[in-house]
Amino acid sequence: MTATQQNQIKDNSPVRFISACRLPTQWGEFTMYGFEDVRNKQEHIALTVGDVSSGAPVLGRIHSECLTGDALFSRRCDCGPQLEAAMKAVQKAGRGVIVYLRQEGRGIGLLNKIRAYKLQDEGMDTVEANLALGLPIDARDFSLAKYILDFLSIGSVQLMTNNPHKVDTLKASGINVVKRVPLHVGQNPENQQYLHTKMEKLGHFAN
């Protein structure tokens, strides 16, 4: 980590860089950076490949934690396959970034997501379930990604996502999203309704 990068965390950033290491995976090696949100001690990471600080737009994904999809192979959603596809794409490009934000359940937390899943088991959709619990439909804070990208000296990204709201929010937080790269993977009979609801109610792109 260079002194320049250390200094790129602005004084008012709530995100503090802690340390970095190699992360060898089945698709290739990443550098893993660890960050702490000093306000709530939440831990976030970024994975990079290649020289991301050269100025040219960087292929990237801002991924929100989904323990059930990312680690437990759940077929209720498409998160695990999206994460895998994004990691593979970045390795294939030889240059890129995955920012992994610990905003489980769109920010409502794992236990509330289990509560929401129970309501979905009883017939509600993903939006209705959050509302029935008195929780926001989407409580995520993507400004964290801006601080992390600034730290990595990444000025512009080609963003892998199907979520137009995420693109707008990232742009509003000052991230230069030069292109959206669709990320349609992991469809299965169990998540068909969930993906449909994301398109109908949350405006996600179909392609």
Ligand X SMILES: Nc1nc2c(ncn2[C@@H]2O[C@H](COP(=O)(O)OP(=O)(O)OP(=O)(O)O)[C@@H](O)[C@H]2O)c(=O)[nH]1
When the beta carbons of 53 and 74 are compared against Zn ion, the nearer one is 74
* Site size with Zn ion, rule: CB under 5 A: 4
Q: Is 44 annotated as a binding residue?
A: no
Other beta carbons less than 10 A from residue 2's beta carbon: 9
Of 121, 138, 141, 168, the active-site residue reads 138
Residues in region 47-66 near Zn ion by CB under 5 A: 66
The binding site for ligand X (CB under 6 A) comprises: 64-66, 77, 79, 82, 103-106, 108, 113, 116, 126, 130, 161-163, 166, 183, 198
From the CB of 148, what's the least distance to ligand X, in Å? 16
Computed on alpha carbons and rounded to an integer, the radius of gyration of the chain in Å comes to 17
Q: Is 18 annotated as a binding residue?
A: no
Distance (Å, whole) CA 148 – CA 55: 16
- Interface with Zn ion includes 152 (CB under 5 A)? no
Q: Binding partner of residue 105 among ligand X, Zn ion, none, CB under 5 to 8 Å per kind? A: ligand X
Question: Could you tell me if 170 and 143 are in contact, meaning their C-beta atoms sit under 8 angstroms apart?
Answer: no
Residue 140 known to be catalytic: yes
From the CB of 56, what's the least distance to ligand X, in Å? 22
Distance (Å, whole) CA 142 – CA 101: 8
Q: Is 64 annotated as a binding residue?
A: yes
When the beta carbons of 111 and 172 are compared against Zn ion, the nearer one is 111
Sheet hosting strand 42-49, strand order edge to edge: 15-25, 28-37, 42-49, 96-101, 58-64, 156-160, 176-181
- Interface with Zn ion includes 83 (CB under 5 A)? no
From the CB of 150, what's the least distance to Zn ion, in Å? 27
Q: Binding partner of residue 148 among ligand X, Zn ion, none, CB under 5 to 8 Å per kind? A: none
Residue list for the binding site for Zn(2+): 66, 77, 79
Residues interacting with Zn ion, by CB under 5 A?
A: 66, 69, 77, 79
Give the active site residues. 138, 140
